Amino acid sequence: MTRILVLGAHPDDAEFFAGGFLVRQARAGSVIRLVSVTNGQSGHQSIPQQDLIAIRKTEAAEAGAIVGSPYITADFPDGSLQPSLELRHWIIKEIREFAPDLVLTHRPFDYHPDHRAVGQAVQDASYMVMVPKVVPNVPRPPKEPIVAYMVDLFTRPCPFRADVVLDVSPELETVLDMLSCHRSQVFDWLPWIEGIKDQVPASTR
Ligand SMILES: [Zn+2]
């Protein structure tokens, strides 16, 4: 695989659910584009939303730089994402313009409605991306990409089935480096929402 597009719902989803694979492929020379469909504006207990949008863009860009990739945070609303026609057409445009060999996304079975919405929208886009008269102002790519799901642990209505298994343990330190760029999330918001903020040290980055 030489060109990989990750369509996650939030800044950090790519690292959490496909980080080892992405680091491995970056080392092998793949061209990677990381996308968070939402802007991350809702995932914090106190920072104002407009400030959070800018913080999440900065943190994501730092994480992407570790694997030499741009990390796009689009402006669909965090926490209120719908698998709308607007989102489907935006995804078709993203896929056509980047022309990936592989697209990774969430399954449409997940605890988080934003993850489900992205998974559904990518599924809806995956055939239409090759139909020229849909989003006609953006030419279709030279070949249809493979669309695959990032790993998850959900079992209902059907469990994840691994078609490809790779040993990414040598990449874990780099994945942790990427995740630690998301300071406002992994050291702050996520421990807060889990009720374990007092057990987590402050970020040293
Ligand atoms: Zn997420």
- Tell me the average pLDDT of the chain: 96
pLDDT, residue 1, reads 62
Indicate the SS3 state at residue 137: coil
Rounded distance, CA 78 to CA 13, Å?
Answer: 13
pLDDT, residue 204, reads 80
Percent of the chain whose predicted confidence (pLDDT) is above 70: 100
Q: How confident is the model at residue 203 (pLDDT cuts 50, 70, 90)?
A: confident
Domains in the chain, ordered, with CATH?
Answer: 3-199 (3.40.50.10320)
pLDDT in tens, 32-54: 999 999 999 999 999 999 999 99
Q: Which residues surround ligand 1, an ion (CB under 5 A)?
A: 9-10, 13
Cα of 168 to ligand 1 centre, how many Å? 21
Cα of 51 to ligand 1 centre, how many Å? 19
Cα of 16 to ligand 1 centre, how many Å? 9
> Is the Cβ–Cβ distance between 71 and 107 less than 8 Å?
no
What's the rounded mean pLDDT across residues 149-172?
95
Rounded distance, CA 132 to CA 106, Å?
Answer: 25
Rounded distance, CA 182 to CA 191, Å?
Answer: 13
**Pairing status of strand 31-38 against strand 71-76:** parallel
Q: Tell me the HSE value of 91 on the side-chain side, using a 13 A CA sphere.
A: 34
